[in-house]
């Protein structure tokens, strides 16, 4: 509300070249027809072109130069056999030259006004208008000396006089900037900003009449007067209340949408703040540009908003927030219908075109499409308004290109938002997926078997995610980091045991189960210590869900049957939580299938099929996917991908005869 324009909103919408859609419109009060900004600027330019500047005349310079020349003449001709009478004659001639030169003053080359025919000379507190031709400049000094000596028939002494005057003469006129500017402002104040008056009750435009140039000028003048009258002391609060209600309605739609369709975002204050801050930044940038110059409104890269929101959330939320922001800006911008139309289309194109923003080519292609939409839309609107393409403003296309160039800066902006709000984008996920990163390098050195297992799980999970349209990059990174907790005790996990010695043989099943379960907790601690984002830590927490370490549970149960007593199942159950998204559910399936596949002795198509079905169906029976937004159809698709991948891993093919 603080950034909104201070004034009411004219209740009629109109555009040049379109019919007046309302009833006959009569002037509601007396008002003036305002000149356009271009007309006023043109008049100002004419005044500037015809201005007469003021110059100060320094009398001291003329006296000083005369004194110096009189002394120098005595010294120059003293060595030559001249009588006192002749020297006095030379001095008199020099005096006449000085008086001639400084009669109206001498201008320096730098201070000479360009493209001016005259100036005002300020001498003894009086301003006298003179033509520029009547003012000497330094280059004219030699000519004055030559002409004067020719009249006096002293041309044989010209070299001495020329040298004397060249050294002594200096300009004495200086530009009076303060007085010149005051005179210019005085002339500007005489400009009339209106072309006439319209009396109350006069018909302005009839229903169905096309809005022509003159009609547009009258309507815009009335609109300006009407909106300024609304912002009075008595009714400004009503206008503010009206604005507040409308903006509140828009933001209410946002929160209702989040509560109904994006509950996890609605319940996260950081994410809510992030969305609202982005809306505020766009409103702020647009209002600042509109106040500076309305013609630059399309320079504001509004499509950065859906780009960023799609990067951190999803396409549907990005488009919804973009449309709501455009609706809010409809109160601020001129020609709100055109603005809303073009920006909504550009937002839709942004959402439809941008995928995998971490690929640089995709961003350039998307920005190109956005810019094309702006250009084509502007071209169409111009033809509607003008009925031709003669007066098209080519500069507008430059603004659209500038908009596209600024939109390319979304990448560093995403990085800034990640650091401020603790969010993670696909660009960061791509960096984390590099197996040469510090944490993954440490995992490969300390637990090579686990590292290889993680790579295999990442390949399985990524393929499954691509098949059902989940976030493949997020799943891959989650798979690479899901078992980093095994670094603390690598030899207690079979994939890292390179000898037949199993350290679990020396431990009771309860202690062994605790070591296995603790790799989840330790993995979370390691991840947080290395600043791994929470979205990736979620995979560490959920990749076993609330399942049981069944091998050591059965071993403990058999032991308890011999000595008597009950086995507490909770001692052998992972703390959870169960997967709560499609991505974490995919990882649980891929992890369990890949780990258990190592126990297959003679894998075949039938064996792998039954094996995958048994593991995934067992997880469904244990309600591991109850909180995940994944369907049975998607689970079946994931099963097919896992089966096919395992078949490829084990190279099942026809045996060739020896």
Q: Residue 91: inside a domain, yes or no?
A: yes
Secondary structure of 350-409 in the HEC alphabet? Answer: HHHHCCCCCCHHHHHHHHHHHHHHHHHHHHHHHHHHHCCCCCCCHHHHHHHHHHHHHHCC
Cis, peptide link before residue 319, omega less than 30° from 0? no
Q: Residue 72: inside a domain, yes or no?
A: yes
Each residue's pLDDT tens digit, 403-420: 888 888 888 888 888 888
Same-domain pairing of 611 and 571: yes
CATH of the domain at 539: 1.10.3210
pLDDT above 70 for 185: yes
> Using alpha carbons only, what angle is made at residue 227 by residues 222 and 228, rounded to the nearest 5 degrees?
100
- Range with the largest mean pLDDT of 78-87, 291-300, 626-635: 626-635
Q: Which two tokens stand for residue 395?
A: 């500069």
Q: Which of 55, 46, 179, 185 is nearest to 129 (CA)?
A: 55
Indicate the pLDDT class of residue 623, thresholds 50, 70 and 90. very high
DSSP code of residue 210? B
Residue ending a domain, among 421, 447, 466, is 421
Q: Residue 378: inside a domain, yes or no?
A: yes
By mean pLDDT, which of 131-135, 491-495, 563-567 is the weakest? Answer: 563-567
Domain limits at 314?
236-421
Place of tokens 């369907």: 631
Same-domain pairing of 447 and 388: no
Residue-level pLDDT at 276: 95
Same-domain pairing of 409 and 260: yes
Same-domain pairing of 453 and 562: yes
Same-domain pairing of 382 and 459: no
Q: Residue 654: inside a domain, yes or no?
A: no
pLDDT above 70 for 111: no
Q: What are phi and psi of 107, to 5 degrees?
A: -95, 140
Secondary structure of 439-481 in the HEC alphabet? Answer: HHHHHHHHCHHHHHHHHHHHHHHHHHHHHHCCCHHHHHHHHHH
Each residue's pLDDT tens digit, 229-266: 655 556 677 778 888 898 999 999 999 999 999 888 99
User: How large is the average pLDDT for residues 644-654?
Assistant: 74
Element (H, E) at 31: strand 31-34
Q: Does 294 or 55 have the greater pLDDT score?
A: 55
The structural domain count of the chain equals 3
Same-domain pairing of 387 and 450: no
Residue-level pLDDT at 365: 85
Q: Residue 33: inside a domain, yes or no?
A: no
Place of tokens 């126990």: 599
Residue-level pLDDT at 499: 78
User: How large is the average pLDDT for residues 273-285?
Assistant: 93
625 close to 594: Cβ distance less than 8 angstroms: no
Q: pTM to 2 decimals?
A: 0.62
pLDDT above 70 for 655: no
pLDDT above 80 for 147: yes
Contacts of 623 (CB under 8 A, 6+ apart): 578
SS3 637: helix
CATH of the domain at 323: 1.10.1760
Q: Which two tokens stand for residue 498?
A: 């390179």
Residue-level pLDDT at 338: 85
User: How large is the average pLDDT for residues 378-388?
Assistant: 76
Q: Residue 28: inside a domain, yes or no?
A: no
Same-domain pairing of 385 and 481: no
Task: Provide Rg for the chain, Cα atoms.
Answer: 43
Residue-level pLDDT at 202: 83
Same-domain pairing of 409 and 440: no
Q: How remote is the C-alpha of 556 from its chain's centroid?
A: 61
DSSP code of residue 204? E
Exposed, middle or buried: residue 230 (CB in 10 Å: 0-12, 13-18, 19+)?
middle
Residue-level pLDDT at 110: 58
Residue-level pLDDT at 599: 80
pLDDT above 60 for 653: no
Residue-level pLDDT at 7: 58
Same-domain pairing of 522 and 579: yes
Same-domain pairing of 351 and 464: no
Q: Which of 520, 421, 426, 407 is nearest to 470 (CA)?
A: 426
By percentage, how much of the chain surpasses pLDDT 90?
Answer: 28
Residue ending a domain, among 390, 421, 452, is 421
Average pLDDT, the chain: 84
Each residue's pLDDT tens digit, 510-565: 898 899 999 999 999 999 999 898 889 999 999 999 998 888 888 888 877 777 67
Same-domain pairing of 280 and 249: yes
Q: Residue 41: inside a domain, yes or no?
A: no
Residue-level pLDDT at 235: 66
Q: Please give the Cα distance from 583 to 465 (Å, whole number).
A: 7
pLDDT above 60 for 588: yes
Helix, strand, coil percent content, the chain, rounded in steps of 5: 65, 5, 30
Q: Residue 126: inside a domain, yes or no?
A: yes
Same-domain pairing of 282 and 386: yes
Indicate the pLDDT class of residue 579, thresholds 50, 70 and 90. very high
Residue-level pLDDT at 477: 95
Residue-level pLDDT at 651: 64
Residue-level pLDDT at 259: 93
Residue ending a domain, among 126, 145, 175, is 175
């Amino acid at each position: 509300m603080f950034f909104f324009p201070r004034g009411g909103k004219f209740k009629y919408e109109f555009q040049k070249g379109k019919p007046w859609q309302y009833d006959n419109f009569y002037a509601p009060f007396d008002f003036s027809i305002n000149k356009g900004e271009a007309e006023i600027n043109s008049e100002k330019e004419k005044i500037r072109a015809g201005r007469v500047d003021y110059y100060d005349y320094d009398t001291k310079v003329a006296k000083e130069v005369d004194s110096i020349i009189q002394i120098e003449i005595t010294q120059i001709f003293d060595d030559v056999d001249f009588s006192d009478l002749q020297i006095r004659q030379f001095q008199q001639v020099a005096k006449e030259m000085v008086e001639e030169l400084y009669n109206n003053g001498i201008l320096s080359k730098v201070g000479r006004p360009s493209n001016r025919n005259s100036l005002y000379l300020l001498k003894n507190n009086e301003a006298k208008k003179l033509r520029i031709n009547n003012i000497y400049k330094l280059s004219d000094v030699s000519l004055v000396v030559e002409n004067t000596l020719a009249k006096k028939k002293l041309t044989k002494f010209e070299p001495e006089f020329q040298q004397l005057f060249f050294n002594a003469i200096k300009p004495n006129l200086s530009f009076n900037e303060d007085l010149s500017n005051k005179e210019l402002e005085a002339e500007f104040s005489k400009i009339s900003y209106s072309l006439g008056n319209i009396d109350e009750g006069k018909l302005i435009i009839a229903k169905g009449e096309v809005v022509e140039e003159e009609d547009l000028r009258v309507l815009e003048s009335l609109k300006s007067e009407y909106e300024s009258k609304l912002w009075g002391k008595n009714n400004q609060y009503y206008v503010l209340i009206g604005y507040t209600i409308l903006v509140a309605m828009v933001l209410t739609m946002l929160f209702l949408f989040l509560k109904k369709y994006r509950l996890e975002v609605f319940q996260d204050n950081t994410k809510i703040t992030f969305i609202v801050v982005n809306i505020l930044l766009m409103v702020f940038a647009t209002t600042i540009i509109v106040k500076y110059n309305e013609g630059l409104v399309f320079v504001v890269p509004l499509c950065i908003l859906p780009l960023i929101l799609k990067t951190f959330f999803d396409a549907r939320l990005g488009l919804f927030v973009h449309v709501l922001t455009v609706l809010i800006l409809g109160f601020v911008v001129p020609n709100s219908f055109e603005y809303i139309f073009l920006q909504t289309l550009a937002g839709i194109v942004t959402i439809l075109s941008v995928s995998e923003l971490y690929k640089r080519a995709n961003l350039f292609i998307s920005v190109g499409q956005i810019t094309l939409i702006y250009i084509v839309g502007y071209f169409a609107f111009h033809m509607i308004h003008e009925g031709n393409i003669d007066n098209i403003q080519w500069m507008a296309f430059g603004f659209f290109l500038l908009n596209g160039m600024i939109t390319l800066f979304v990448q560093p902006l995403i990085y800034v938002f990640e650091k401020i709000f603790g969010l993670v984008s696909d660009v960061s996920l791509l960096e984390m997926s590099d197996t040469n990163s510090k944490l993954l390098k440490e995992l490969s050195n300390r637990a090579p078997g686990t590292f290889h297992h993680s790579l295999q799980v990442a390949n399985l999970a990524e393929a499954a995610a691509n098949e059902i349209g989940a976030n493949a990059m997020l799943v891959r990174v989650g798979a690479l980091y899901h078992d980093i907790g095994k670094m603390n005790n690598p030899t207690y996990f079979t994939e890292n045991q390179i000898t037949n010695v199993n350290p679990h043989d020396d431990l009771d099943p309860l202690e062994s189960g605790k070591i296995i379960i603790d790799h989840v907790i330790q993995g979370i601690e390691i991840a947080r210590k290395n600043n791994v984002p929470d979205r990736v830590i979620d995979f560490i927490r959920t990749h076993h869900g609330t399942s049981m370490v069944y091998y050591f549970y059965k071993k403990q149960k058999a032991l308890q049957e011999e000595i008597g007593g009950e086995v507490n199942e909770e001692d052998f159950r992972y703390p959870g939580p169960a997967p709560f998204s499609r991505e974490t559910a995919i990882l649980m399936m891929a992890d369990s299938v890949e780990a258990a596949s190592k126990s297959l002795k003679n894998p075949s198509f039938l064996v792998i099929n039954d094996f995958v079905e048994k593991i995934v169906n067992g997880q469904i029976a244990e309600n591991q996917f109850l909180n995940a937004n994944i369907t049975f159809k998607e689970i079946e698709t994931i099963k097919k991908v896992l089966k096919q991948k395992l078949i490829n891993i084990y190279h099942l093919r026809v045996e060739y005869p020896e």
